[in-house]
Amino acid sequence: MGRKTKITIDYLKCGDGVGLDPRECSKCLRICEPAIFLLHETLGVEEKNPYDPQIWRVTPLYPSLCTRCLKCVEVCPVEAINVTW
């Protein structure tokens, strides 16, 4: 099995209403074959309209399924993704 894959996303560059909006970009989500990323509303933020949340981020949800192809790192326009093992 070897070592665990660790995927980190820099939330200053992507998501949380600060950096790039992941809903517009979503390149990492689309390129990942096993679809390990999750697009979701950031936890614990006050939304102006809770029925239509605007602050989103991407979380690497299932790193165990990662094939270490590093396509997400290549495709990210703001270089926010880092994969190590």
Partner 1 sequence: MCDHCLKHGTAGKWYFNARNYSNEIAEEYNLREFLMEQYLNFEQIPVRTINGFNAVGLGYKMQMPIIGRVVKYFAEKMVLSTKPPTNPFKAEGHFGQVVPLDDAIAILEHCAAEPIIQKYCMCRYMSRGDKDACCINFGVMSEIIEKLPRFIPVDEKFQLTREEAIERFKEHNKKGYIGTIWYGPYPYINNLCSCKNPECAGIRPRLDFGITSIFKAEYVVDVERDLCTGCQKCISKCQFNALKFDPALRRVVVNQENCYGCGVCLHECKFDALRIHPRNEYPTLAGKY
Q: Is 67 in the site for partner 1 (CB under 8 A)?
A: no
How many helices and strands in the chain, by DSSP H and E?
3, 4
- Which tokens belong to 60? 């690497």
Return the residue of 11, 13, 62, 71 that touches partner 1, per CB under 8 A. 62
Q: Is 45 in the site for partner 1 (CB under 8 A)?
A: no
Output 10 or 42, the one with its CB closest to partner 1. 42
Distance between CA atoms of residues 72 and 74, nearest Å: 5
Return the residue of 13, 16, 55, 63 that touches partner 1, per CB under 8 A. 63
Strands, E, within the chain: which ranges?
6-9, 37-41, 56-60, 81-84
Return the residue of 35, 69, 70, 78 that touches partner 1, per CB under 8 A. 35
Q: Is 43 in the site for partner 1 (CB under 8 A)?
A: yes
| Residue 9, SS3 per DSSP | strand
